[in-house]
Amino acid sequence: MRRAEQIRYLVLALQREGDRQLASALRPLGLTPSQAEAIRVVAEFGPLSLQHVGRLLICENGTNPSRLIDRLVDAGLVSREVAPDDRRRVTLSLTPAGRAAETAVRAIEEQLYQQIDAALEAAAGAGAGATRGEKPGPDGDADEGRGSGSRAQTDVDAAIALLAALAGGTPAAEALEGRGVGR
Q: What is the pTM (predicted TM-score) of this model? A: 0.79
The residue extents of the domains of the chain are: 127-183
Kindly report, residue by residue over 5-37, the tens digit of the pLDDT.
Answer: 999 999 999 999 999 999 999 999 999 999 999
- Distance of alpha carbon 159 from alpha carbon 10, whole angstroms: 12
Kindly report, residue by residue over 113-125, the tens digit of the pLDDT.
Answer: 999 999 888 877 7
- How many CB atoms sit inside 10 A of residue 47's CB? 18
Kindly report, residue by residue over 123-182, the tens digit of the pLDDT.
Answer: 777 764 544 444 444 444 444 444 555 776 788 888 888 888 888 888 888 888 888 876
Amino acid at 88: R
- Distance of alpha carbon 155 from alpha carbon 169, whole angstroms: 23
Residue 46 has pLDDT above 80, yes or no: yes
Task: Work out whether the CA dihedral 50, 54, 60, 61 comes out positive or negative.
Answer: positive
